[in-house]
Amino acid sequence: MTTDATTAPEVHAHRALQHHFENMEQQREAGTLGMWVFLVTEIMFFGGMFLAYTLYRSLFPASFASASNHLDITLGTLNTGVLIFSSFTMAMAVYFTQIGKHRPQLLCLTITLLLGLTFLGVKAVEYYDKYEDHLIPGRLIPGNPFNPAVQEEGQKPDPHKLHLLQGATVPQVEMFYWIYFAMTGMHALHMIIGAGLLTFLLIFSLKRRFDPEYHSPVEVIGLYWHFVDIVWIFLFPLLYLLGRHFEHG
Amino acid sequence: MSEHIVPVRVYIAVFLVLLAGTALTVAAAFYDFPWQLNTIVALTIATAKATFVVLYFMHVRYSVRLVWVIVASALFWMAIMFALTFSDYRTRKWDGRLGMIYSPGCSVVSRTSIMRRQDGQFKRIVASDVLIGASQKGQAPLISL
């Protein structure tokens, strides 16, 4: 940045620079650091649920494998792809903000938002399938308690019936579904919050608030979005893939 | 501006690696590995994918040292949470007093736990509860752990 000798440095200060920071770079680094501290608390929050998952899976391995095999692996894989693609477009949105390309930045933010909503739509379809098969645990849905039909020996395979592997029991399968809905539900809530944040970014981007010097909000919300993606990267194999080899191996 | 701008080709490469990782983990899930290797393979691929996201999409590779410390602290506290919890759960059945009265027909649940009975009720059990299989009353055993 060239400084005109006749003007005071304050005139050149970016309009987004807060008075307690020396310059934009310091402000951006402080913001990034703060976001990472928040993400650590988020990691611990999800960590508690991963802990519960690990514990109950080690107690009920056969039931967890049976319950997992009932999940829709096609939709799960599709959603993983959708989320990875959205993470990529989010990273590109940060990139285009950094180099000051306004229109590609808007495009990337819009695609990211649409992919996030696609993920939530697919998740809703999956939840509805579980509702149809009476797999919503406990009595969360009044009038539709946890009561899945179980595949009996010698019956012709029915995708809506629960196929219990040896050693699996229905109450233990219910435990899997408690954990499944808690984890994917909290993840979906984070996606909904993320979609709200992206909408905020889009509005402020339309107002041309961001430029190469000031793009902390895009960067920081990008960090959040990638974090939610990482949670799903772990949820997908742990929830959808753990028992496939027992039936197909 | 000293900020590092990650080139587009790096983003595209990471994106392709993540897609390949997803395909790989799905393919590996259908293959029956010996022992617990299925879980280990799945978690290794997931960790590798997450590492790529953290290093490149989240720019940690180009971030100041303090960000590295914060990321490491998350892993450290997670390790503590898992280690302390499982050092409890994994050693509950080591109680010598319980071992002596552990015999067929009796079930002992270590120290204290909440059990769910067949009728859906919950029952709190302490170490002194020796549950002689409830078969005398013609019921299924209370415990199925």
State the pTM of this model. 0.82
Among A151-155, A236-240, B135-139, name the one with the lowest average pLDDT: B135-139
Query: Reduced to 3 states, what is the DSSP secondary structure of residue A134?
Result: coil
Indicate the residue of B19, B42, B64 with minimum beta-carbon distance to A241: B42
Q: Which residues contact B37 (CB under 8 A, 6 or more apart)?
A: none
**B97: exposed, middle or buried (C-beta count within 10 Å: 0-12, 13-18, 19+)?**
exposed
A147 pLDDT higher than 90: no
If we measure between CA atoms, which residue out of B46, B33, B62 comes closest to residue A219? B62
For B63-74, the pLDDT digits (tens) are: 889 999 999 999
Interface predicted TM-score (ipTM) of this complex, two decimals: 0.87
Judge whether A100 is closer than 8 Å to chain B, CB to CB: no
Tell me the C-alpha distance between A135 and A146, whole Å.
5
Q: Nearest-CA distance from B12 to chain A in Å?
A: 8
Tell me the C-alpha distance between B2 and A248, whole Å.
53
Tell me the C-alpha distance between A124 and A119, whole Å.
9
Question: How many angstroms from the chain centroid is the CA of residue A167?
Answer: 33
Query: Reduced to 3 states, what is the DSSP secondary structure of residue A150?
Result: strand
The gap between the terminal CA atoms of chain A, to the nearest Å, is: 63
Mutate to test the interface with B, among A46, A80, A90, A223 (most CBs of B within 10 A): A80
Sign of CA dihedral B67, A49, B114, A240: negative
If we measure between CA atoms, which residue out of A148, A136, A147, A233 comes closest to residue A178? A136
Residue B129 has phi, psi (to 5 degrees) of -70, 110
Tell me the C-alpha distance between B64 and B62, whole Å.
7
- For chain B, the three-class secondary structure string (H helix, E strand, C coil) is CCCCCCCHHHHHHHHHHHHHHHHHHHHHHCCCCCCCHHHHHHHHHHHHHHHHHHHHHCCHHHCCHHHHHHHHHHHHHHHHHHHHHHHHHCCHHHCHHHHHCCCCCEEECCCEEEEECCCCCEEEEECCCEEECHHHHCCCCCCCC
Note whether B31 contacts A245, CB cutoff 8 Å. Answer: yes
Residue A205 has phi, psi (to 5 degrees) of -70, -40
What count of Cα atoms within 13 Å lies in the side-chain half-sphere of residue A114? 7
Cβ count near A81 (within 10 Å): 16
Cβ count near B81 (within 10 Å): 15
Q: Nearest-CA distance from B78 to chain A in Å?
A: 7
Residue A164 has phi, psi (to 5 degrees) of -85, 125
Tell me the C-alpha distance between B59 and A218, whole Å.
13
For A164-193, the pLDDT digits (tens) are: 888 889 999 999 999 999 999 999 999 999
Side chain identity at residue A191, one-letter code: M
- Report which DSSP code applies to A141: S
Decide: B95 and B111 in contact? Cβ < 8 Å: yes
For A33-84, the pLDDT digits (tens) are: 999 999 999 999 999 999 999 999 998 999 999 999 999 999 999 999 999 9
What is the helix, strand, coil percentage profile of chain A, to 5? 70, 0, 30
Q: Identify the band that residue B5 occupies on the pLDDT scale cut at 50, 70 and 90.
A: confident
Judge whether B85 is closer than 8 Å to chain A, CB to CB: yes
As beta bridge partners, residue B115 has: B123
Instruction: Pull the structure tokens for residue A25.
Output: 């770079």
Highest-confidence range of A7-11, A44-48, B3-7, by mean pLDDT? A44-48
If we measure between CA atoms, which residue out of A148, A145, A144 comes closest to residue A158? A148
Cβ count near B25 (within 10 Å): 24
If we measure between CA atoms, which residue out of A67, A73, A239 comes closest to residue A146? A67
Q: What percent of chain B has pLDDT over 70?
A: 63
User: What pLDDT, on a 0 to 100 scale, did the predictor assign at position A229?
Assistant: 96
| Closest residue in chain B to residue A34, using alpha carbons only | B67
Which of A:51-70 have CB within 8 Å of B? 51, 54-55, 59
Measured CA angle at A72 (ends A148, B145), to 5 deg: 50
Highest-confidence range of A39-48, A57-66, A151-160, B92-101, by mean pLDDT? A39-48
pLDDT (mean) for B100-125: 56
pLDDT (mean) for B104-132: 57
